[in-house]
Amino acid sequence: MSKIKAIVFDLGMVLIPFNYELAVNRLNLLKPGAGDRVMNFVKENYHLFRLFEAGKLTENEYIPQLMKAAGTGEVVPHEKFCRIYSEIFSINYDVAELLEVLKPKYRLFLLSNTNPVHRKYGYAGFEFLQHFEKLFYSDEVGAVKPEAAIYQAVEAYSGLKPEEHLFIDDIEDYINGAKRCGWQGIQFFNYRDLLGKLRELTGDF
Domain ranges (residues) in the chain: 6-17+90-202, 20-86
3-state secondary structure of 8: strand
Q: Is the pLDDT of residue 204 over 90?
A: no
**CATH class name, domain 6-17+90-202:** alpha beta
Query: What rounded mean pLDDT belongs to the chain?
Result: 97
β-strands 134-137, 165-169 pairing = unpaired
Q: Is the pLDDT of residue 1 over 70?
A: no
3-state secondary structure of 183: coil
Q: pLDDT above 70 covers what percent of the chain? A: 100
pTM of the entire predicted model:
0.97
Which of 110, 107, 165, 115 lies closest to 140, judged by CA?
Answer: 115
Are 174 and 145 a contacting pair, CB within 8 Å?
Answer: yes
Integer angstrom CA distances of residue 196 from 167, 168, 186, 203 = 15, 13, 10, 10
